[in-house]
Amino acid sequence: MLRPYKHISTNLENLHEYVLEFFDKIEHEEGAFRVELFNQKFRPIVQRHEVVLLRKFEEIFNQFKGFSQEKKSSICAQIKHSNEIEKICSREVEPLSFNSLEDDFFDLVRELFLNLYNKVLNGEIAKQEIGMSLRNHFDQFRTANEDITDCPMCGISPLKSKYDKSRDQYDHYLPKAIYPLSSVNFKNLVPTCLECNSFNAKGDCDVIDSTGGRKIFYPYDQNYHGLEIKFSIIDQDHVIENLDWNVCFDCQDDREDEIESWKAIYKIEERYIGHVKGKITKWFKTYWSFMQKRKSNNLSTEDNQQAYFDFLEADEQELINMVRKPALQEFLRMETIIRALEEV
For residues 117 and 234, state if they share a domain.
no
Is the CB of residue 58 less than 8 Å from the CB of residue 108? no
Region 238-243 average pLDDT: 81
* Positions of E strands within 127-209: 169-172, 189-192
pLDDT confidence of residue 236:
66
CA-CA distance, 178 to 99, in Å (whole number)? 5
Task: Answer whether residue 57 is part of any domain.
Answer: yes
- Are 206 and 38 contacting, i.e. CB atoms less than 8 angstroms apart? no
Q: Are residues 47 and 164 in the same domain?
A: yes
Q: For 6-20, 47-61, 286-300, which range has the lowest pLDDT when averaged over its residues?
A: 286-300
Residue 271 and residue 250: Cα distance in Å, rounded?
A: 18
One domain for residues 43 and 175:
yes
Nearest to 22 by CA among 52, 51, 64, 50: 64
pTM of the complete model: 0.89
Question: Is residue 213 very low, low, confident or very high in pLDDT (cuts 50, 70, 90)?
Answer: confident
Do 28 and 76 fall within a single domain? yes
CB 325 within 8 Å of CB 155: no
DSSP structure string for 283-317: HHHHHHHHHHHTGGGS--HHHHHHHHHHHHHHHHH
Of the candidate ranges 15-24, 28-37, 91-100, 238-247, the one whose mean pLDDT is the lowest: 238-247
d(CA 337, CA 340): 5
User: At a CB cut-off of 8 Å and minimum separation 6, what does 78 contact?
Assistant: 96, 181
| Mean pLDDT of all residues in 154-183 | 93
- Same-domain pairing of 256 and 125: no
Q: How far, in Å, CA of 23 to CA of 181, rounded?
A: 12
308 within domain boundaries: yes
For 328, the domain range is: 227-343
Judgement on whether residues 251 and 188 belong to the same structural domain of the protein:
no
Residue 216 forms part of a structural domain: no
Q: Are 138 and 161 in contact (CB under 8 A)?
A: no
Domain assignment present for residue 104? The answer is yes
Check whether 257 has a pLDDT greater than 90: yes
**Residue 154 in domain:** yes
Residue 43 is predicted with a pLDDT of 96
274 & 138 share domain: no
When pLDDT is averaged across residues 306-323 and rounded to a whole number, the result is 81
Please check whether residue 316 lies inside any domain of the structure: yes
Residues 232 and 272 in one domain: yes
pLDDT at position 102 is: 86
Mean pLDDT of 217-231: 93
Of 159, 179, 211, which one is at a domain's C-terminal end? 211
Same domain, 17 and 158: yes
Mean pLDDT score of the chain: 91
Same-domain check for residues 192 and 296: no
Better-scored residue on pLDDT, 240 or 134:
134
Distance between alpha carbon 199 and the CA centroid of its chain, in Å?
A: 14
Percent above pLDDT 90 for the chain: 68
As for how many domains the chain has, the answer is: 2
CA torsion sign for 39, 21, 89, 267 is: negative
- Name the domain boundary from 156, 183, 211: 211
Cα–Cα distance measured from residue 21 to residue 263, given in angstroms and rounded to the nearest whole number: 36
Q: Are residues 179 and 31 in the same domain?
A: yes
**Per-residue confidence band for 101, with pLDDT thresholds at 50, 70 and 90:** confident
Are 21 and 163 found together in one domain? yes
Burial of 9: CB neighbours in 10 Å, binned 0-12, 13-18, 19+: exposed
Residue that finishes a domain, picked among 211, 237, 267: 211
217 lies in some domain: no
In this structure, is residue 5 part of a structural domain? no
